[in-house]
Structures are given as structure tokens and as C-alpha cells.
């Protein structure tokens, strides 16, 4: 009989739970609100987890009753004193369903979604950016990701900010012209560069306005714009530095690790993989992560149980809920 586990990917905007077997067949899935202990109260986290488990159970009660293990990769864990709070809440909710659970940093999810459970390095670049490494011995490493205010190199927010900076530099005559100017005018539907200011400095979170501009940077890169090339190469250099830092710290004695790239910026892995390979050892295996992070949580759960996932795991998981 196939084993059944629950994997949870908990984040600052939403928390996804999936019940699946080691073939990667998804038996039930659901999404509830944010569960980052830095921004959500223990009370709300508890309510959300209860709802998550209740829904999984409701979707497939007989499978749920076979499942006795849950792995939760949670954002914000390992960074503050809130870890105990999160552990307590999880243990309480899981115990009420007679499920054992293990918590860890959500970097594990992203990593295992890319390496299918092998050790390696994952470079994440979405709205924010962070790099994780996990060795054969289970040592976890982290580089970057200290927040958008001063440490977001290579993130969508960073690329968008740089585009704006360069466009205003060009406007002032301090910097070279770039086609990003016209792309930004079109994107925000304004006629003059200074009119961008009220579009950017609004009551909305600046990251949500600026991060999508990274897309324009990649469009300008495709059009061989010099400034866009500088910005994209700068981001690739940051990714390379982060990956190299973790290789030096953790993988010197091992065979070269797999490197996985996750997050919206790597929708353009065709651009970034060659740029990263240029500077890292060329025999290194670098791939775009194909599975969503919660798949990594499911894989982590099977690893905890010492159960090998089957070869069809990836293709099955991609198909969504199994029926």
C-alpha cells in the first residue's frame, strides 16, 4: 500500500497544504491564509491550520486517516523567538488528528521541489531573493534574504528599482539613455518621466508596484538595451556570488551539488542559467525548479519517514489533484 503524508508550505501571504502519496499523486489540497509568525498572531495561525487540516480530511477522509505524518516548511522560522510558538500551535493541531509533524524553514520546500529531495542549493528570486543550501549531512545554509530595505539583490523588486533609478538618471542627464524609459511610460500610461512619481509613491506597498517592472527589464534585455544588460548581469553576478558562497562554505568536500532556481525571475531561466554558468563551474547542474514549493514539503515528509519517492513523482504532482 502506498504511504500518505501531508506537506505544508507556509508563507507570508498564504499557506498551502497537500496530501499525497510517494508516487506524487495528490489526494487533496487546500490553501488558507498567511501563517508567518512574524506577522500573524498565534491565534490566527491556529485557526488557519485547523481549517487546513479539516479541509484535507473532508476532501478524502479515508486517505487522511491513513496519513500519520506532516512536514511543514514555514517562512519566518529559525529567524526569531517565534519558533516555539509555531511548534506549539502545530503540535496542538496535529495531535488532535493523531498526526506527527515536523517543522522547518520553507527554504527546504523550495530546495526539495528543485532537487527532488537531494542535497543542493536553491536560489530563489521572486519579489524578494534568498539562497539556501542543504548538505548530505543535513546542514542548512542561508545567504541573503535580509529584507527589501537593504538586501534584495536580484529580486524582482531590486530589478524594478534599478530600472526606475536608471530611467531617472537618464532623464536628468546623469545617465545613459535606455529604452526602459519608453517601456515605463507605456507601462504606467503617462507622457513624461516625472509623472511616474505619483504612480510609484502611493499608499500601496511599493514592492507590489515596483517588482513587476522586472518584466520590462527582461523585455529591454531581449531588445539588447545596454542598461537592461547591465541590470540583468548585475543580478546574475549576485546569484553567482550567493551560490558560490554556499558552495565554499558547505560543499567543498562533496561532489558538486545540484543548483535549483526558483521564483518568478527565473521564468527567464533561459537568460539566467547561461549567465550563472559562465562564472560557476561549468559542469555544475543548474535547473529551473518545475514543482511548486509545497511539493518539496511532501518530499521532505517522505524523507523524514525514510520512504523513497517514485520516479513518477514529478510528473504526477504536476497533474494536480488525483482522481
Binding site for a copy of itself (CB under 8 A): 79-80, 142-144, 146-147, 149-151, 161-162, 164-165, 168-169, 172-174, 194, 197-198, 200-201, 206, 210, 241-242, 245, 248-249
Least distance (Å) from a copy of itself to the CB of residue 206? 5
Shortest distance, CB of residue 222 to a copy of itself, whole angstroms? 23
- As measured in angstroms, the least distance from the Cβ of 316 to a copy of itself is 37
Q: Is 84 or 224 the residue whose CB approaches a copy of itself more closely?
A: 84
The answer to whether 108 and 293 are in contact (CB under 8 A) is no
Over the range 293-311, which residues count as b (16 or more CB within 10 Å of their CB) and which as e? bbbbbbbbbbbbeeeebee
- Looking at beta carbons only, is 25 or 215 nearer to a copy of itself? 215
**Closest to a copy of itself by CB, 168 or 188:** 168
Residue 18 forms beta bridges with which residues?
A: 7, 29
The CB-of-58 to a copy of itself minimum distance in angstroms stands at 38
Are 14 and 48 within 8 A, CB to CB? no
Whole-number minimum distance, CB 161 to a copy of itself, in Å? 4
Which CB atom, from 200 or from 280, has the smaller least distance to a copy of itself?
200
Q: In angstroms, what CA-CA distances link 167 with 89, 143, 216, 270?
A: 48, 30, 12, 25
Distance of closest approach, residue 168 Cβ to a copy of itself, in angstroms: 5
Smallest separation (angstroms) from a copy of itself to the CB of 202:
11
Q: Between 52 and 167, whose beta carbon lies closer to a copy of itself?
A: 167
**What are the distances in angstroms from CA 217 to CA 150, 151, 182, 202?**
20, 19, 12, 22
* Beta carbon nearer to a copy of itself, 1 or 149: 149
State the minimum distance, in angstroms, from the CB of residue 204 to a copy of itself.
12
Grid cell of 311 as nine digits: 520516479
Looking at the Cβ atoms of 61 and 146, the one nearer to a copy of itself is 146
CA-closest candidate to residue 119, choices 266, 299, 290: 299
Nearest CB to a copy of itself, comparing residues 32 and 250 = 250
Amino acid at each position: 500500500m502506498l504511504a500518505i503524508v501531508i506537506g505544508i508550505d507556509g508563507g507570508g501571504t498564504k499557506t498551502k497544504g497537500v496530501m499525497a502519496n510517494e508516487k506524487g499523486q495528490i489526494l487533496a489540497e487546500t490553501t488558507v491564509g498567511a501563517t508567518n509568525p512574524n506577522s500573524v498572531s498565534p491565534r490566527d495561525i491556529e485557526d488557519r491550520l485547523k481549517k487546513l487540516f479539516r479541509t484535507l480530511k473532508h476532501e478524502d477522509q479515508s486517505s487522511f486517516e491513513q496519513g500519520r505524518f506532516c512536514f511543514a516548511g514555514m517562512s519566518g522560522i529559525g529567524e526569531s523567538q517565534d519558533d516555539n510558538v509555531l511548534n506549539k500551535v502545530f503540535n496542538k493541531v496535529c495531535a488532535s488528528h493523531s498526526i506527527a509533524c515536523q517543522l522547518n524553514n520553507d527554504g527546504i520546500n523550495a530546495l526539495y521541489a528543485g532537487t527532488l529531495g537531494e542535497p543542493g542549493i536553491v536560489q530563489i528570486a521572486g519579489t524578494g531573493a534568498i539562497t539556501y543550501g542543504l548538505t548530505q549531512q543535513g546542514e542548512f545554509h542561508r545567504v541573503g534574504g535580509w529584507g527589501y530595505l537593504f538586501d534584495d539583490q536580484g529580486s524582482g523588486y531590486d530589478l524594478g528599482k534599478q530600472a526606475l533609478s536608471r530611467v531617472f538618471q537618464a532623464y536628468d542627464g546623469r545617465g545613459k539613455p535606455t529604452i526602459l524609459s519608453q517601456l515605463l511610460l507605456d507601462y504606467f500610461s503617462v507622457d513624461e518621466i516625472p509623472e511616474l512619481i505619483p504612480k510609484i509613491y502611493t499608499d500601496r506597498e511599493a514592492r507590489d508596484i515596483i517588482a513587476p517592472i522586472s518584466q520590462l527589464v527582461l523585455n529591454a534585455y531581449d531588445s539588447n538595451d545596454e542598461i537592461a544588460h547591465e541590470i540583468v548581469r548585475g543580478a546574475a553576478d549576485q546569484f553567482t556570488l550567493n551560490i558560490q558562497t554556499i558552495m565554499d562554505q558547505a560543499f567543498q568536500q562533496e561532489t558538486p551539488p545540484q543548483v535549483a532556481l526558483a521564483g518568478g525571475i527565473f521564468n527567464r531561466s533561459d537568460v539566467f542559467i547561461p549567465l550563472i554558468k559562465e562564472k560557476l563551474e561549468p559542469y555544475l547542474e543548474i535547473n529551473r525548479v518545475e514543482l511548486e514549493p509545497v511539493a518539496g514539503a511532501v518530499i521532505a515528509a517522505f524523507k523524514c519517514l525514510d520512504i523513497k519517492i517514485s520516479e513518477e513523482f514529478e510528473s504526477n504532482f504536476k497533474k494536480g489533484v488525483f482522481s
